[in-house]
């Protein structure tokens, strides 16, 4: 019997599907665990203002990202994206959107709104569904409609009963959804795309940091070596989760990624509890409805994926016969 070629793009010779899946799960868990623990880092660095923290995150992601690009031999992909006008235009837009997302997230953690940050990433997948319906002509299955209604009810309860409109959650959810939609329009890898985004943002961020130093308002000073080390870590802490996610996305089906993505907001929620954020009855009802929506949404995605795999197997069996 002749050896069959790999069925997955990028699969190494001799690498089985089980090995790829195992590697993908490990990489996915690493990515979402790092994102889930992110609030702790920003809490530790709470002496740094949100805007300065954002600037350091952008600036120090550039050299670390360049190192990753070099080790993965992705400079040709970076060059192609930079000289392609349409791709560069979309990456400029995505850079602006991710800046809003990062700044809002840092502010949320530093201001004691980790619950809202967590809620924003819980509702993000549901926002993708809404965007698909409104702008791409997609049709909702019954379970998806139920999930969206439950999520909307949760936000409404928090707004009316808790007297707290989740502005942070909405901004995070919308900005990350827009980021995903924009990045979907260009054929560029996760790391090359992120590198170009921080590349175009770095001049502004660097000028702002230099101005802070000149004005004597920066915490990046020799007298505080712990702050220097902490701020330098903003680079790898930004790049490494994305690298792990890129590896997972190439090895796992979307349904598996869909389940893993709820690890991060769940961990963020737990971090919020650990830091003693106020958890009211309105919060309990809101998150209860959101978790129910997530369960319905996840089960529907799993069932749809299972049916699709069944159709593929049946089609392959028919072709073989």
What is the per-residue pLDDT across 88-121, written as a single tens digit (0 to 9) for each?
A: 999 999 999 999 999 999 999 999 999 889 888 8
Mean pLDDT of 167-190: 86
pLDDT at res. 280:
85
pLDDT at residue 282 tops 70: yes
Q: How far apart are CA 231 and CA 132, in angstroms?
A: 38
H helices present in the chain, as ranges: 17-44, 50-71, 75-83, 85-110, 114-136, 142-160, 167-183, 190-214, 225-232, 234-251, 254-260, 263-274, 281-320
Q: How far apart are CA 85 and CA 78, in angstroms?
A: 13
140 secondary structure, DSSP code: -
Which of these ranges, 31-40, 84-93, 101-110, 147-156, has the smallest mean pLDDT? 147-156
pLDDT at res. 244:
87
Domain ranges of the chain: 20-135+166-280
pLDDT at res. 37:
92
Mean pLDDT of 257-273: 84
48, two tokens: 């740094």
Q: Are 119 and 277 in contact (CB under 8 A)?
A: no
pTM of the entire predicted model: 0.82
- Nearest-CA neighbor of 61 among 32, 33, 95? 95
- Nearest-CA neighbor of 167 among 175, 21, 80? 175
């Amino acid at each position: 019997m002749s050896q069959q070629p790999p069925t997955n793009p990028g699969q190494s010779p001799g690498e089985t599907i089980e090995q790829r899946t195992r590697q993908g799960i490990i990489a996915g868990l690493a990515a979402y665990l790092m994102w889930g623990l992110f609030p702790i880092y920003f809490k530790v660095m709470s002496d740094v203002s949100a805007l300065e923290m954002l600037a350091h995150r952008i600036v120090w992601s550039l050299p670390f990202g360049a190192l990753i690009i070099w080790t993965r031999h992705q400079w040709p992909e970076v060059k192609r994206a930079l000289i392609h006008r349409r791709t560069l235009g979309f990456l400029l837009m995505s850079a602006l959107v991710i800046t809003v997302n990062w700044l809002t997230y840092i502010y949320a953690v530093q201001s004691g709104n980790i619950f809202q940050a967590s809620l924003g990433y819980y509702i993000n997948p549901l926002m993708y569904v809404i965007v698909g319906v409104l702008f791409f002509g997609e049709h909702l299955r019954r379970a998806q409609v139920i999930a969206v209604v439950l999520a909307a009810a949760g936000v409404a309860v928090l707004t009316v009963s808790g007297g707290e409109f989740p502005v942070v959650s909405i901004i995070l959810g919308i900005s990350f959804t827009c980021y995903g939609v924009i990045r979907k329009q260009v054929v560029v890898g996760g790391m090359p795309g992120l590198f170009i985004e921080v590349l175009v943002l770095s001049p502004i961020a660097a000028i702002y940091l230099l101005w802070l130093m000149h004005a004597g308002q920066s915490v990046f000073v020799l007298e505080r070596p712990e702050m220097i080390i902490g701020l330098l870590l903003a680079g790898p802490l930004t790049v490494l989760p994305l690298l792990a996610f890129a590896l997972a996305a190439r090895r796992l089906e979307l349904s598996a990624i869909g389940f893993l993505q709820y690890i991060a907001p769940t961990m963020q929620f737990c971090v919020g509890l650990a830091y003693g954020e106020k958890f009211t009855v309105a919060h309990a009802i809101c998150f209860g409805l959101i978790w129910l929506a997530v369960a319905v949404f996840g089960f529907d995605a799993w069932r749809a994926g299972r049916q699709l795999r069944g159709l593929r197997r049946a089609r392959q069996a028919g072709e073989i016969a």
